[in-house]
Amino acid sequence: MAFLYIISEIGGVMLAITFHPESYGVGASCAGFGLIGFLGAYLFTNWFFMSRTNFWQTLYLLSVSGLFVLMNQGISLNWESNNIGHQGGLVTGFLIGLTLTEQYDYNALNAEPVRSPDRYTEREWKDRSCFRNFICARCGLIFLILWIVFLFLMFFLYTNVNVEQNTDP
């Protein structure tokens, strides 16, 4: 979780300072949105399992996540918060979530004895599409790396860091 928290914070801050180099700020809000992004990826990859076991849990997690994002993306009374940083943390956390949640399935396959992952029944595991696991795990990692590289390139190539902050009342 520390990896998720730190990388989400870096992704959010890099996107924020790319769009607003004159402002400064570091905080836990980008990383908090990264945790919500991870939760979104978890819901995305485990949708059928969670709907099968407890539909109300799925509905609750969706509503709490949606309410959290909605309240912190402009409906709040704090107009000085940097919402673009929140969005960067959200995207970074979602990409990390796609990578990590499917990695648990691969770990179950490599366990002794080989077993189906916990979120599948034995029949679902045999009938599942391997393409979905590949897309979520491997492409999620590739997109995460491309996202971080994109953020660094945007910052170092296109951001003018010599902008002064306007302090006039």
Q: Could you report the per-residue pLDDT of 65-118, keeping only the tens digit for each?
A: 888 877 776 655 555 556 788 888 999 999 888 888 777 766 666 677 766 666
Region 141-148 average pLDDT: 87
Mean pLDDT of the chain, nearest integer: 77
Cβ contacts of residue 46 below 8 Å, gap of 6+? 101, 119
At 55 the pLDDT is: 77
Distance CA 117, CA 97 (A): 17
Dig out the tokens for 90 from the structure.
């959200």
In a domain? residue 47? yes
In a domain? residue 136? yes
Q: What is the model's pTM? A: 0.76
Structural domain total, the chain:
1
Q: Count how many residues are written for the chain.
A: 169
In a domain? residue 4? no
In a domain? residue 45? yes
Distance CA 37, CA 30 (A): 10
In a domain? residue 150? yes
In a domain? residue 112? yes
Cβ contacts of residue 20 below 8 Å, gap of 6+? 82, 84
In a domain? residue 167? no
Q: Phi and psi (nearest 5°) for 115?
A: -140, 165
* pLDDT tens track for 31-49: 888 998 998 888 887 777 7
Domain span holding position 91:
28-74+83-158
In a domain? residue 91? yes
